[in-house]
Structure 1
Amino acid sequence: MADQPDQHDSAAWLALRDPAYVAKVIPPLRAAVKGYFRSEVHGLEHIPDGGALLVSNHSGGMVPMDVPVVVVAFYDHFGTERPFYILAHDGLMQLGKSVLGPAGFMPANRDNAIAALRSGATTMVFPGGDHEVFRPTREANKIDFAGRKGYVRTALDAGVPIVPVVSIGGQEQLLVLSRGDRLARLLRLDKLIRLNVVPIIVGFPFGLTPGFVPSLPLPAKIVTSILEPIRIEDEFGPNPDIDEVDRVVRARMQDALDELASRRRFPIIG
Structure 2
Amino acid sequence: MSNGADKDVAKWDPGFTRAITDRVGPIIKRYFRAEVRDLHAVPSAGGALVVSNHSGGMLTPDVLVFAPAFYKKFGYDRPVYTLGHDAIFVGPVGDWLRRAGVIEANRENAAKALRDGALVLVFPGGDYDSYRPTFTENVIDFNGRTGYIRTAIEAGVPIVPIVSIGAQETQLFLARGDSIARRLGLKRLRAEILPISIGFPFGLSVFFPPNLPLPAKIVTRVLEPIDIAEEFGDDPDVEQVDLHVRAVMQEALDELARERRFPVLG
Which TM class, normalised by the smaller chain length?
A: over 0.9
Q: Superposed, which structure 2 residues align to 1:153-232 within 5 Å?
A: 153-192=150-189, 194-232=190-228
- 1:136 maps to which of 125, 133, 136: 133
Look up the equivalent residue of 2:175 and give its one-letter code: S
- 1:37 maps to which of 32, 39, 43: 32
TM-score normalized with structure 2 length: 0.95
C-alpha contact (below 8 Å) 1:62/1:212 kept by paired residues: no
C-alpha contact (below 8 Å) 1:205/1:216 kept by paired residues: yes
Deviation, 1:8, is 8.0
- Deviations along 1:165-211, one digit per CA (max 9) or x if unpaired, are 1000011111111101122223333332x221110110100000112
Question: Distance in 2 between the 1:165 and 1:76 partners?
Answer: 17
TM-score normalized with structure 1 length: 0.94
Question: Distance in 2 between the 1:98 and 1:78 partners?
Answer: 25
Corresponding residue of 2:235? 239
Corresponding residue of 2:259? 263
Question: Distance in 2 between the 1:152 and 1:240 partners?
Answer: 10
Question: Distance in 1 between the 2:62 and 2:3 partners?
Answer: 25
Alignment size in residue pairs? 263
- Deviations along 1:222-244, one digit per CA (max 9) or x if unpaired, are 00000000000100111111000
Residue segments in structure 2 that go unaligned for 5+ positions in a row: none
Question: Distance in 2 between the 1:219 and 1:258 partners?
Answer: 22
Residue segments in structure 1 that go unaligned for 5+ positions in a row: 1-6
Percent identical residues: 54
- 1:46 maps to which of 41, 44, 59: 41
- Deviations along 1:152-174, one digit per CA (max 9) or x if unpaired, are 00000000000001000011111
- Establish whether residue 106 from structure 1 lines up as the match of residue 103 from structure 2: yes
Corresponding residue of 2:21? 26
- Per the alignment, in what secondary structure is the counterpart of residue 90 of structure 2? helix
C-alpha contact (below 8 Å) 1:8/1:112 kept by paired residues: no
Question: Distance in 2 between the 1:17 and 1:75 partners?
Answer: 14
Corresponding residue of 2:62? 66
Look up the equivalent residue of 2:106 and give its one-letter code: N
| Aligned-CA RMSD value | 1.4
Q: Superposed, which structure 2 residues align to 1:112-127 within 5 Å?
A: 112-127=109-124
C-alpha contact (below 8 Å) 2:78/2:117 kept by paired residues: no
